[in-house]
């Protein structure tokens, strides 16, 4: 992908901050776009940016815009106000899956947990299935929570990779309302803009 390539001069691998738990879309983006860096998870966008400012990581990858819902907040505003340099950006396809503990059936699911931005991208599908949306701090964090609870009426909306990470069964792929659902990620560094 243009602009997210290997550092110049053969620089050694570093750490790339992202918001969320392992298996989140931002984690996937780090793995796919910065395979030479170690992904470094932070619970909030603020914490990921603070880690970059403190030098705990060499860069941070954050989602700022989605083709279905527009700006991804609070990330977009935090990036604009951060004073950090945007060194590259990339649009990535976003495919949401509905996942639950093994043995769960789609007909029994009452709630689906996820990050508010992800839930906003699948309002129509969840409504048509009669499933109530429940906000969580992160897509993969929701998958982890659903897995730990073991409640067969609870599901998570997250990337398919999260089902593997948290031992969940995918009940339905592509629950996003738009087949062309994409998110723009920006890569930030400490260098002043």
- List 63's β-bridge partners, or say none: 185
Residue in 25, 45, 139, 183 annotated catalytic? 183
Does the annotation count 139 as an active-site position? no
Nearest CA among 75, 99, 97 for reference residue 86: 75
Eight-class DSSP state of 155:
E
Helix (H, G, I), strand (E, B) or coil at 108: helix
How far, in Å, CA of 27 to CA of 21, rounded? Answer: 7
How far, in Å, CA of 62 to CA of 29, rounded? Answer: 9
Contacts of 159 (CB under 8 A, 6+ apart): 23, 24, 25, 28, 95, 96, 97, 139, 140
In contact, 92 and 61? CB cutoff 8 Å: no
Does the annotation count 25 as an active-site position? no
In contact, 26 and 94? CB cutoff 8 Å: no
Catalytic residue annotation: 183, 185
């Amino acid at each position: 992908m243009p602009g997210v390539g290997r550092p110049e001069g053969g620089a050694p691998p570093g750490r790339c901050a992202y918001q969320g738990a392992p298996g989140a879309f931002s984690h996937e983006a780090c793995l796919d776009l910065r395979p030479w860096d170690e992904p470094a998870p932070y619970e909030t966008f603020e914490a990921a940016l603070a880690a970059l400012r403190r030098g705990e990581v060499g860069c941070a990858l954050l989602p700022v815009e989605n083709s279905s819902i527009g700006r991804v907040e609070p990330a977009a505003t935090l990036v604009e106000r951060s004073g950090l340099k945007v060194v590259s950006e990339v649009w990535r396809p976003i495919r949401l899956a509905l996942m639950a503990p093994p043995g769960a059936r789609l007909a029994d699911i009452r709630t689906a947990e996820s990050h508010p931005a992800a839930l906003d991208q699948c309002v129509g599908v969840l409504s048509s299935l009669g499933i109530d949306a429940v906000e969580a701090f992160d897509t993969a964090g929701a998958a982890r929570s659903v897995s730990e609870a073991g409640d067969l009426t609870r599901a998570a909306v997250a990337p398919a990779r999260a089902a593997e990470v948290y031992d969940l069964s995918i009940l339905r792929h592509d629950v996003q309302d738009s087949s062309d659902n994409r998110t723009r990620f920006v890569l930030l560094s400490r260098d002043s803009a």
